[in-house]
Structure 1
Amino acid sequence: MLSVGDKFPQFNVKATVSTDLKNAFVDINNDTYKGKWLVVFFYPKDFTFVCPTEITGFAKHNQAFLDRDAQLLTGSTDSEFVHHAWRTHHKDLNGLPFPMLADIKRELTSALGILDKEAGVAQRATFIVDPTGIIRFVYVTDLSVGRNPEEVLRVLDALQTDELCPCNWHQGEEVIKVA
């Protein structure tokens, strides 16, 4: 699995961005959000139980991520059409404010090393990528355990200080100053 300090791999995937079929699908690659922080979180499958709780959890914090010049991207190994159907039929995903990546060839999940060996789907993995394309944070949980979007936001805040941040540090608190 790629880790902190590694370059986020090159990718070019279809993404679902709307329930309106006229403009529901776009291509997204490394240059789409060039110069921004990326928070890329993968989940195992559409039409499941834990996954929508995480996606809506991140959606509730979307503006906070945007305020920090960070773009949220979510994705799985499902197709853009399955993403579209899920967004259309799941009331909490109708107005999702960020793209859903469709890694149906499993190229990105394989390059990241997060393709679950037994289930053949994306692991529940989160990457914070800095504006130069370097992975600065990785968070992976068991397929059955959801993530905490507030913790991902807290870590993004800490990384953006470019300072030493103590345990449980939050934006606005003192950082560690080495004498």
Structure 2
Amino acid sequence: MSQVRKQIPEFIADGYNPKKEEFVQVSNKDFEGQWTVLMFYPADFTFVCPTELEDMQSQYAKLQELGVEVYSMSTDTHFVHKAWHDHSDAISKLEYTMLADPHKSITRSFDVLDEEAGLAQRATFVIDPDGIIQTVEVNADGIGRDASQIYDKIRAAQFVRENPGEVCPAKWKESGETLTPGLDLVGKI
């Protein structure tokens, strides 16, 4: 079942904030009033995951300018996140909080737990300031994500939120034309 346009579940998670070099606790309440990217990944100390988290870091400043906060989450503990941060060149660059779900309850509630493996799937959620999921991307384990695509998705979601009645067509960029759905467009696109 699709998660799009659904309220995010309630949760509390321990995490590691590399920017502040401290353990933190984050809940769904921390997502309120801001745009949020929640990026699930299978496991620390793996192969594709560090490339994805480092790629998201490369977009982090641009996302922050849009008022977006980023969180990553796996089923590892926050202690493992810190150890990975301290020992990986790619992960040592991270500034966003790495959340832990060792009990797998949060991953399961977002419906991205691979039950057989006991690991999170490679899933990205864009969540609006009301805690409503606007986009979901889920990839197979061997397929890494491109964080630069998140920026365009968030800009489109922000535009649609700020401009009711307008929609963003394929490959829409911030300065691009939008569409106003109506009878006059039926069969003409």
Name the amino acid aligned to 2:28: N
Name the amino acid aligned to 2:85: R
Cα distance in 2, alignment partners of residues 131 and 68 from structure 1: 12
* TM-score between the two structures when normalised by the length of structure 1: 0.94
Correspondence for 2:116 = 118
User: If you compute each CA radius of gyration, which structure gives the higher value, 1 or 2?
Assistant: 2
Correspondence for 1:48 = 46
Unaligned runs of 5+ in 1: none
Name the amino acid aligned to 2:99: L
Correspondence for 1:34 = 32
Write out aligned runs for 1:156-175 (5 A).
156-162=154-160, 163-175=166-178
Task: Kindly state the Cα deviation for residue 140 of structure 1 after the two structures are TM-superposed.
Answer: 0.1
Cα distance in 1, alignment partners of residues 47 and 118 from structure 2: 18
CA RMSD of aligned residues (A): 1.5
**CA 1:106/1:2 → structure 2, altered by over 3 Å: closer, same or farther?**
farther
Name the amino acid aligned to 2:172: W
Task: Kindly state the Cα deviation for residue 33 of structure 1 after the two structures are TM-superposed.
Answer: 3.7
Task: Kindly state the Cα deviation for residue 2 of structure 1 after the two structures are TM-superposed.
Answer: 5.1
Unaligned runs of 5+ in 2: 161-165, 185-189
* TM-score between the two structures when normalised by the length of structure 2: 0.89
Aligned residues: 177
**CA 1:2/1:12 → structure 2, altered by over 3 Å: closer, same or farther?**
farther
Query: Which of 107, 110, 113 is equivalent to 1:109?
Result: 107
Contact kept, 8 Å, 2:39 with 2:123, in 1: the verdict is yes
Task: Kindly state the Cα deviation for residue 153 of structure 1 after the two structures are TM-superposed.
Answer: 1.4
Contact kept, 8 Å, 2:19 with 2:94, in 1: the verdict is no
2:146 pairs with 1:143 = no
Tell me which stretches of 4 or more aligned residues in structure 1 moved more than 4 Å.
none
Secondary structure of the 1:65 match is helix
